[in-house]
Structure 1
Amino acid sequence: MKITFLGTSAGVPTKHRNVTAIAVQPNQQSNWWLIDCGEGTQHQLLHPPFSLSRLTTIFLTHLHGDHCYGLPGLLATRALQGGSQSLPLTVIGPSGVKPLIESICQHTQLYLNYPLNIIEVTSAPNRLTIDQHQIEVVPMEHNITSYGYLISPPDFPGHLNAAKAKALGIAPGPIYQQLKQGKRVTLDDGREIDGNHLLSPAAPAPKVFIAGDNGNPQQLLPWLESASLLVHEATLTEPERQRLAGNIHHSTAAAVAKVANQAKLDNLILTHFSARYGETARQGKLTIDDIHQEASEYFQGQLYLAADWQQYTLTLKGELQQAHIQPKNQ
């Protein structure tokens, strides 16, 4: 599974970071999904090699503007670029997303020439099936309905035991492909062989949890037990959170790192950073390094701070590989 960050800033864009959007490309698929669609997402998509016509699903974690104001423009551009040749598109989100899209289409004369399916999630936990992936919708703690999505790819099929097949007198050839698929085959001598009997057990694929805005990461623990990767907001550091006081409804780097460590996660990616945190050290100013330093004090696994156009590949073994997509205009 490939995860590409298109925006990593909280609330407002900065010179280096756009607001939230994450592209997800399931294993061995050319189609892809989008999780959240902050303002300017379609512009961010001019850089990585993603075609809007191959976008099949948009998951909205919640309806705050920095997570959904880019949706109207992206839907319109998809109609202009791909037209009727585009794949059907599904938009999934909290209650309110359907009238939001319908109102935009009505009042701006937006005509979509591709099938659009809107799914409103009215309660959570909930479970959906998208492109053969199980998607568990998990409630977040925020000042508006907010969800996280636990993505469970289909299990990897078992391997064919070629030695066992040969012992049964099955000569190598095209029939092996049918056996690998678990099909029943009939041999020349009339015997019927069930391919499932020649396969090793299926192996579970690594799971990814991508959270929306959330002020209480502790509540995610039951869903993190089987995950290989958590992507979670870290809007603030603890000192800044205490200075601001009040009900912030966002997580600190320390709070997320503690939960990830408690869940014994291998990989943690933090994102959604307040614009208070600059990219480079300046005297007396907060920086992204402050977030990294705070999280690293509590998390023992592989820790990453997301940046725009950064791509991560989660391997079949649950290992995370990092790359950076160079913007095309640079």
Structure 2
Amino acid sequence: MKLQILGSGAGLPSKNRHTQCIILDLVDEINQYYCVDASEGMQHQMLHTNIKPSKIKNLFITHLHGDHIYGLPGFLSSRDHQGGKDIPLMIYGPKGLKNWLDVTLETSRSHISYPLEIIEVAPNQTFNVDNMTIEVISMQHNIECYGYIFTERTEKGELLVSKLRDIGITPGPIYKEIKESNTFLHDGKVYDTNDFLGPEKIGRKVIIHGDTRVITDNDYKEKLDGADIIVHESTYLDGEIEKAHQYHHSELSEVLSNFKSIDFGRLLITHISNRYESDDLILIQERYRDECIFASDFMEITIPRKS
């Protein structure tokens, strides 16, 4: 599992940053990608990666501001001709997304040959997709906006083959049957399967925010606790907290302060304003290098399993 950043900028694209588009790479786990937000030019960004549009089968929209959705109609049309024919796509997002897409696709006479389902989500909604439980959390923005908590299903540990051999069970289809059972019978004795399994593979937890002010609510922070990685916007990096509040965005020092009370792995800062030149960012990154990672276009971050 890893994150791939196709767009790390805020509002307006710049020469170095497209606007927000994040890929959760689950190819090794379930042979597909999840995509969060669909910024303008996302399909062009994909051309610089190994991402296959047909392997994006679930797409999550945080909110309906243009810098998060303007790439969606083009992507949907292109996917049709890039191996996506007949491969279903589910899109999740706020109320109004379906109407906007229906009008856009009809007006442009865009033909979609694959099954397309649009699910308009609600706060605190939880649903299961593939090997993930996904929870929708409300953001504090100037329009309806969400974040998504992706929690991977915990899996049984590896079968301890040597222990099975010790009691006289040789490799074969029986191994699969044993792993899928709670107990098994051998030579007239009942065994507990857990005694023949290694440690559980704890599911990973990835949290991707939409645009938001810093949320200080304890219930919200409890949901973030234990995350392997949190992706949070920081449109403002240099102390302009009042301006961040005014425009319903976040400022870096306030984000860092807010998360001091929770336990998590890494913090990835994205949705960075194009006001910051390369020299500015180098200084800011150096100052906060022990506290967070700053996203850049085409960055990849591996999310290992918990030991």
TM-score greater than 0.5 by the shorter chain: yes
> 8 Å contact 2:133–2:150 — kept in the other structure?
yes
Q: Which amino acid aligns with 1:165?
A: L
- Aligned: 1:275 with 2:274: yes
Structure 1 unaligned residues grouped into runs of 5+: 282-286, 319-330
Write the mapping of 1:16-165 to structure 2, written as runs, cut at 5 A: 16-26=16-26, 27-85=28-86, 87-121=87-121, 123-162=122-161, 164-165=163-164
Q: Is the 8 A contact 1:23 1:33 kept in 2?
A: yes
How far the C-alpha of 1:274 sits from its partner, in A, is 0.6
Please point out which of 269, 279, 292 is paired with 2:285.
292
Percent same amino acid at aligned positions? Answer: 35
Counterparts of 1:240-279 in structure 2, within 5 Å, are 240-242=240-242, 244=243, 247-279=246-278
Following TM superposition, by how much is the alpha carbon of 1:125 offset from its aligned partner in structure 2, in angstroms? 1.1
Is contact 1:182-1:199 (8 Å) kept?
no
CA contact (8 A) 1:237 1:290 kept: no
Note the C-alpha offset of 1:255: 1.5
Look up the equivalent residue of 2:215 and give its one-letter code: P
Partner deviation per Cα, 1:39-88 (whole Å, 9 max, x = no partner): 11110010110111111011001010000010010001111222524x20
Q: Does the 8 Å contact 2:214/2:258 carry over to 1?
A: no
Tell me whether 166-175 or 123-132 shows the greater mean CA deviation: 166-175
Query: Which one-letter code corresponds to 2:3 in the other structure?
Result: I
Which whole-Å CA distance do the structure 2 matches of 1:241 and 1:292 have between them? 18
Which has the higher mean CA deviation after the structures are superposed, 42-51 or 219-228? 219-228
Shift of 1:157: 1.3
Measured in 2, the distance between the counterparts of 1:40 and 1:2 equals 22
Q: Is the 8 A contact 1:253 1:295 kept in 2?
A: no
For residues 38 and 157 of structure 1, what CA distance do their matches in structure 2 show? 38
Q: Separation in 2 of the partners of 1:144 and 1:137?
A: 15
In the TM superposition, what whole-angstrom CA distance separates every residue of 1:5-44 from its partner, at most 9, and x where no partner exists? 0000100110011011001112523211110001111100
Q: Distance in 1 between matches of 2:13 and 2:152?
A: 32
* SS across alignment from 2:19: coil
Paired AA for residue 316 in structure 1: R
Q: Is the 8 A contact 2:53 2:83 kept in 1?
A: yes
SS in 1 for 2:78: helix
TM-score by length of 1: 0.84
Task: For residue 186 of structure 1, report the CA deviation from its aligned partner.
Answer: 6.4
Q: Compared with structure 1, are the counterparts of its residues 245 and 95 closer, same or farther at alpha carbon in structure 2 (3 Å cutoff)? A: closer
Distance 2:90 2:147 in 1: 17
Question: Which runs of no fewer than 5 residues in structure 2 stay unpaired?
Answer: none
Q: Residue 127 of structure 1: CA displacement? A: 0.4
Q: CA–CA distance in 2 between the matches of 1:20 and 1:250?
A: 14
Deviation of 1:169 (Å)? 3.1
Matched pairs, number: 304
Match of 1:178 in 2: 177
Given that residues 236 and 244 in structure 2 are in contact (C-alpha distance below 8 angstroms), is that contact kept between their aligned partners in structure 1? Answer: no
Q: TM-score, structure 2 length as denominator?
A: 0.90
Q: CA deviation at 1:235?
A: 0.5
Cα RMSD, aligned residues only: 2.3
| 2:135 match: secondary structure | strand
Give the C-alpha shift of residue 217 in structure 1: 3.3
Report the alpha carbon displacement of residue 162 of structure 1 after superposing the two structures with TM: 3.8
CA 1:55/1:131 → structure 2, altered by over 3 Å: closer, same or farther?
same
- Amino acid corresponding to residue 294 of structure 2 in structure 1: L
